[in-house]
A = this chain, B = another copy of it.
Amino acid sequence: MAGSSFGTIFRITTWGESHGKAIGVVIDGCPAGLPLCEEDIDRYTARRRPNGGPMSTARRETDKVQILSGVFEGKTTGTPISLMIMNEDQRSRDYSSIADSYRPGHADYGYDVKYGFRDYRGGGRSSARETAARVAAGAVAQKLLQLFGVECRAHLSAIGSVPSTDPAAMEELVQKCRSEMNSIGSTVICAVKGLPAGIGDPVFEKLDANLAKAIFSIGAVKGLDIGDGHLAATLLGSQNNDPFRIKDGKVVMETNHGGGILGGISTGSDILMTVYFKPTPSIALPQRSVNRFHEEIDMEIKGRHDPVIGARAAVVVESMVALTLVDAILLNQSARIDKVQI
């Protein structure tokens, strides 16, 4: 079934495999009149790109985005915006070690059962490379949010149990994992400021439900907290409820245990999310596994892999949140009869 689309009004469709000719995304439903150029998008994809630093793969990806449609005289036209990134680093190589084997922690086995076979080159469609297309689309969503006065930012908050407030210990941990041919989990925090109250829909299209879907659609995410999240399960009601107050004539909340959403609808407080990533499944250490002939094997995964996912994934989280918020804002245009424009 068609699983590569996200959103209702502002709707994206991504395509492309890790080692195919190109990857891309079609954005349909972007309002007309938004100034947009390729540099606007490059700013975001650059944040996802491997930077040669200690936390990232050595793979070269320039991720230069081409706008193929939907922009005329520097502005969006309301019609589909097609963005494409050529795959420059398609070195021919020997995939025999993984073509028939199922890498632990990867989607290989599920794909084979589901589809009968798979594009095994670099993970094919399940590669993290697919997220470059999400970030390209997210850049457009971010431009819209800025126009609406909404700021959406995500950052790496911990590697393993080491918080990002201790960068030296964090880097040491990453180097240790790398030298031990291992990897480590990580945590990303995303905060949204300036979103007005009243955004999101009741029941199944709650704002937090759609944010959860957006975030769990990122590979390697295993946990999500909204506001106090899993800690709220241990609190008393009197501790967890956020009192309403009036400040400068506006309704505000004194605390923000709820993370800015109540009953699926934004309250005007900051939206706060904590996203938990598992360790990179591709590790160079020998692992026990099986192949598609149902034989038990030992395998070692070669190649260039980040030892930690959260560093480069923060901008992916940010993009998915931005895409979700833009769609929710556009859907909200028809909530009240006195706001409908004819």
Contacts and interface: CB of A to CB of B under 8 A. Distances in A.
B78 A335 contact: yes
Interface stretch (A47-55, A56-64, A176-184): A176-184
Contact of A144 (B196, B333, B337): B337
A113 B341 CA distance: 14
26 contacts: A1-B29, A1-B205, A2-B7, A2-B8, A9-B331, A16-B69, A17-B69, A22-B68, A32-B116, A33-B338, A69-B125, A79-B125, A105-B237, A107-B202, A111-B202, A115-B335, A115-B336, A182-B237, A185-B232, A209-B216, A212-B216, A222-B258, A223-B232, A245-B288, A329-B340, A333-B341
Contact of A77 (B66, B102, B124): B124
Interface string A65-101: 0101110110111111110100000000000000000
Contacts of A24: 68, 82
B237 A107 contact: no
Interface size class of A (residues with CB under 8 A): 35 or more
A133 to B, nearest CB: 10
Contacts of A183: 236-237
B230 A222 contact: yes
Contacts of A11: 2, 5
Contact of A107 (B113, B177, B264, B329): B264
Contact of A21 (B69, B259, B340): B69
B201 A1 contact: yes
Given A185-B233, A226-B223, A6 B204 contact: yes
Contacts of A22: 68-69, 82
A68 B104 contact: no
Given A1-B205, A102-B251, 4 more contacts: A209-B216, A237-B285, A251-B294, A329-B340
A182 B259 CA distance: 21
Interface string A18-38: 001111101011011110000
A161 B244 CA distance: 27
A152 interface: no
B337 A197 contact: no
A264 B217 contact: yes
Nearest to A334: B330
A138 interface: no
Interface string A218-243: 01011111111111111111111111
Contacts of A204: 3-6, 213, 217
A160 B278 CA distance: 26
Nearest to A78: B115
Contacts of A312: none
A116 B335 CA distance: 9
A193 interface: no
* Residue with the highest number of chain B CB atoms closer than 10 Å, among A78, A161, A219, A265: A78
A147 interface: yes
A18 to B, nearest CB: 10
A280 interface: yes
B5 A1 contact: no
